[in-house]
Structure 1
């Protein structure tokens, strides 16, 4: 997965759910953009002064040393590596920290293999383009023409093409709970085709309509490379990319070959103030999307080849016209914003067009930036700690120093444009999410809230708040900064999509009411309060209840049982599901999760029973009218919770 996401932490926000269970109504809990993005990506400070000389390698080294050493300390990173190239030469390749803390081994940029996660996709996309230029693949042909063991269902009239896979516009939902990765090397190797056949993801939007970043799509592309070439994916990458580029310390094999095992960088997590070794994660059948382990010097070779239109030394891995096609815009959300190329996504850094790709797993964070117009490439990778934040900070510092940009004044706009600003406010969710499986629940509370004030849009809060002013129809400029956000609208002017230029591969769309926390949290809070009143009433009215007729007594007991079970299920939803470790969530179906899923099913049974007894209570005039109303409200609260679990795919065992 890309490292900006890159990741939205449900844990941080889901504490609201516990607050709700004790009656606190939180109407506006949304994930701020700052939860999705490193704070250091903000370019709100003006760049000043003349550009430094990038060709002064001694000065460059001192500059990078200062940044990396501070980052390793501040962001609790045990080891990191960087390589910078320019005009076909390596300006800098250096390691920082340790590759193995226990043995005291320092990071070696020439030999140490860092896990690069989704940056691996660049190898897959390069392989696809090699087959395109050989005439074995066509970018605009139905991929089912090439697939032999897996077929994509014809959900929409439009076929899925290679162009769609490379631009992440095929329309697949996201998935991965229980199967995306593994930490057990004895389960390897596994077949790409078997994995994709077993874990099929649905098409949820017409191909070509909108971007939705997809590991599944990248894995399909790798399978196509394998089946069309007749060569195992791992061997194809080795023979057609690594060998020609003299990448001796690079592999997509999992686990790495025995000859390279001594050079593997260990992964660490921070526990009780110390680094603790953790098992590496493997992509298995999804390896075309993220299995790479590479040294910084070897990635420098790869960057040089792409910057030189496929050439490295006397080797040509892509024809110049193919490389230029790969680096050119292939899908544009808006012509004024960064585009999606064939595999690379575009960024704007201080006015420069950058083509890039990042990657992150539970232990490593990687970023790769290419500036074709300046013939510059940067590769940086971190083991453990807050590597995503560190990478963003390093990129900002580099471009501010060597290619500083002055923040200009915002242009004057018409009153009509300013008056239209309120229509852009609201809740937005990423197109990259699940719709049909249990994975859907992990997007609950993971949305971005866009608010409006004084004809300006606001994203985030506090010190990380970003303010955007309108500059053109559907386009906003960061106040005091260089970033932009854009919107798509339909024929009637209604907003359909949002794109932040710092996440060009991750569009968002308005969140339907049924997916919004502000819809569910108050309902869950009110329901929880009603359930609590039932339990309190049971404790205070024990003698009175004992004297009730048998039918009424059982009705009260059912109400208490339903209330207790609903509250326990709600708490278990937080403790077992939303509090799941990311590694556990993506690598296996835990026993606790399997057991938990019985709880919503039982709740539905209790809900049906209490609804039936509610009808009987009114028909037979149990208790007072006020107590019957209360009983009915409790039954309806159980219905609300059952619908919540149904809507978020927690009712039953809906695994991918």
Structure 2
């Protein structure tokens, strides 16, 4: 299948509905970190938004400012209060070139907001007794089995709360323009792209696309009809959502907003594999989404039609998973609680999603009977700032300033936290904790170094007031942490402690390569060659190195694996997977992904091909060099460029390039 891949920004990559959660540290870092003490807001009404004209008078300039800032051509915006639509309008252009305006009937891909609909469908079947949320999910998959390395069955409850324990939660992330016009069956695709449960289900929060794809398949299997037909019959039609579908149709495509990249260039819509993606394939309009919001405010009914019970409607809007009692995370229904700092102390559940060129956000305040929804036609983070403005204006923070009290942390007590951790979704994101002077010291590859003070034995706070919650596993041991820093990437999922694995029998304790080999082994990047032997002096083929490089890089997503494999070969004459790899080829492949900036002046001696010089000098200048290669005082170095790369050398280069957490990298 021919693939088309956009050159997306990191923000778009992190936001992709079939890839990542709604907000990104990259965009968030542009704004100052918010705390209760620095909020300056004016309260409009104790009842929140109640007047259509006032809402528009406030939000119109907000959209004008944010759309200009983020180069957004068009957006819709819906506000519902007490079951009534107060605002349902469009801003700007659905198609800038044709001057087509956004209105209530403009179609957008709502992306990961689809997860809440999939959860609703699964909960409908649970109400009818056809699915038990706490039973083994394999009972509802028509013979398809989910591999599970733990002693606890995976359940629908785990899937709807993002706590499956899957090793590769984005393994089914597969999008391209060609897929808009294809019909890719669920069962075959999912069987070929099946993750494994490697953490005890229910223990750790990991944003999980496969979980909701699997939930949709369970709905299809249990109901006996295709997922798209189930949704049409039991959700969209009863809600009166006539312009909402799991699949692209000619009529909906004719009304779809054009997709734009952050630079304002139009591009095609992206479809999903499989076609019926319970994790992110729904299309809808502002008019239809208003009905969805009303359903929650009317406790599961619309126009007298019961969609779900009052109990289920409440369950979908009530947090069931917490990092700490003060840090809500997910409901049984696909809604989340990220960016707790923007909630202003109110009960808010939200869900966002993005595909290339479209972005959506749904926000519910159940106790205020208020909700809003928006979609727009690029994949920047405008939604974050609109959400912030809405909350600060209508639901400002009225809490008294928090009194800071900390508990002393002894060195002996700190041992249970100290160590290295890896994010359970973003494998490239690693963190290390050490102890000094009564505090935990944190270094993370997303935001650098932080000092943590203990509030209670499971809750810490950094120098900026961001909370970090440690979590225990089923054995009662500290095994995970969740960090709320909006200027980081850690908040996308829990991170898990990295435990050393038994040493390889043929790697001596005094080997200068042992640390690198052990590090990558503990991260499941490398494994034994045979038995318990690593074969440190063995040679490596170009294909073997590529596959290991992809694992070390840490982006385990089909679209990006394919793209990165192509990228690694760039600039290498005559790439051959079966041929032995030289040290200069390995350096170019690493640099193609690492993109390290030269930090010191390096002079290569020996024999190096011109196409490899730039890559080698950049890596060596950053200290990404195996221990047997010495840089002299004058910056000269013989990289032995044309010699075969040995397995131990590959381990050192990959660990130094992608295994560390410390920031910043060296600069000139």
TM-score under structure 2 normalisation? 0.69
> Radius of gyration: which is bigger?
1
Match of 1:34 among 25, 28, 31: 25
| 1:269–1:277 contact (8 Å) kept in structure 2 | yes
| 2:172–2:190 contact (8 Å) kept in structure 1 | no
Q: Which residue number corresponds to residue 482 of structure 2? A: 499
Structure 1 residues 496, 313: CA separation in 2 closer, same or farther (over 3 Å shift)? same
Q: Matched residue of 2:207: which SS?
A: coil
The CA distance in 2 between the partners of 1:205 and 1:462, in whole Å, is 24
CA deviations 1:577-632 (Å, max 9, x no partner) are 9799999527779766789896675346999xxxxxxxxxxxxxxxxxxxxx8899
Residue correspondence of structure 1 range 12-91 to structure 2 within 5 A: 34-35=25-26, 37=28, 39-40=30-31, 42-44=33-35, 46-53=38-45, 54-91=49-86
Q: Which residue number corresponds to residue 106 of structure 1? A: 101
Whether 2:425 is the aligned partner of 1:432: answer: yes
Structure 1 residues 590, 183: CA separation in 2 closer, same or farther (over 3 Å shift)? farther
Deviation at 1:160, TM superposition (A): 1.3
Q: Matched residue of 1:602: which SS?
A: coil
The CA distance in 2 between the partners of 1:317 and 1:79, in whole Å, is 31
Q: Matched residue of 1:509: which SS?
A: strand
Q: Which residue number corresponds to residue 471 of structure 1? A: 455
Q: Which residue number corresponds to residue 602 of structure 1? A: 579
Structure 1 residues 158, 423: CA separation in 2 closer, same or farther (over 3 Å shift)? closer
**What is the Cα-based RMSD across aligned positions, in Å?**
4.7
Q: Which residue number corresponds to residue 203 of structure 2? A: 209
Q: Which residue number corresponds to residue 469 of structure 2? A: 486
Deviates more, 1:318-327 or 1:47-56: 47-56
The CA distance in 2 between the partners of 1:584 and 1:431, in whole Å, is 19
Match of 2:145 among 131, 148, 151: 151
Q: Matched residue of 1:251: which SS?
A: coil
Structure 1 residues 235, 589: CA separation in 2 closer, same or farther (over 3 Å shift)? farther
| 2:136–2:155 contact (8 Å) kept in structure 1 | yes
Match of 2:560 among 585, 588, 606: 585
Q: Matched residue of 1:395: which SS?
A: helix
Deviation at 1:453, TM superposition (A): 8.3
CA deviations 1:494-525 (Å, max 9, x no partner) are 742111357876212245689xxxx99x979x
Structure 1 residues 512, 401: CA separation in 2 closer, same or farther (over 3 Å shift)? farther
Q: Which residue number corresponds to residue 14 of structure 1? A: none
Q: Which residue number corresponds to residue 111 of structure 2? A: 117
The alignment of Structure 1 onto Structure 2 pairs a total of residues equal to: 542
Q: Which residue number corresponds to residue 277 of structure 1? A: 267
Whether 2:363 is the aligned partner of 1:369: answer: yes
Q: Which residue number corresponds to residue 304 of structure 1? A: 294
CA deviations 1:550-595 (Å, max 9, x no partner) are xxxxxxxxx9xx99x99xx89x979xx9799999527779766789
| 2:171–2:195 contact (8 Å) kept in structure 1 | no
Match of 1:338 among 328, 331, 335: 328
Structure 2's unaligned 5+ residue stretches are 1-8, 16-23, 502-511, 518-536, 585-627, 631-637, 659-668
| 2:430–2:444 contact (8 Å) kept in structure 1 | no
| 2:175–2:559 contact (8 Å) kept in structure 1 | no
Match of 2:389 among 397, 406, 424: 397
Q: Which residue number corresponds to residue 285 of structure 2? A: 295
Match of 1:314 among 304, 309, 322: 304
Q: Which residue number corresponds to residue 354 of structure 1? A: 348
The CA distance in 2 between the partners of 1:573 and 1:505, in whole Å, is 23
Structure 1's unaligned 5+ residue stretches are 10-32, 434-442, 525-558, 608-628, 651-656
- Structure richer in helix, relative to its length: 1
Q: Which residue number corresponds to residue 640 of structure 1? A: 648
Structure 1 residues 590, 450: CA separation in 2 closer, same or farther (over 3 Å shift)? closer
Structure 1 residues 413, 488: CA separation in 2 closer, same or farther (over 3 Å shift)? same
Deviates more, 1:287-296 or 1:394-403: 394-403
| 1:267–1:280 contact (8 Å) kept in structure 2 | no
Whether 2:495 is the aligned partner of 1:508: answer: yes
Structure 1 residues 491, 410: CA separation in 2 closer, same or farther (over 3 Å shift)? farther
Deviation at 1:451, TM superposition (A): 8.1
Q: Which residue number corresponds to residue 91 of structure 2? A: 96
TM-score under structure 1 normalisation? 0.70
Q: Matched residue of 2:277: which SS?
A: helix
Q: Matched residue of 1:222: which SS?
A: helix
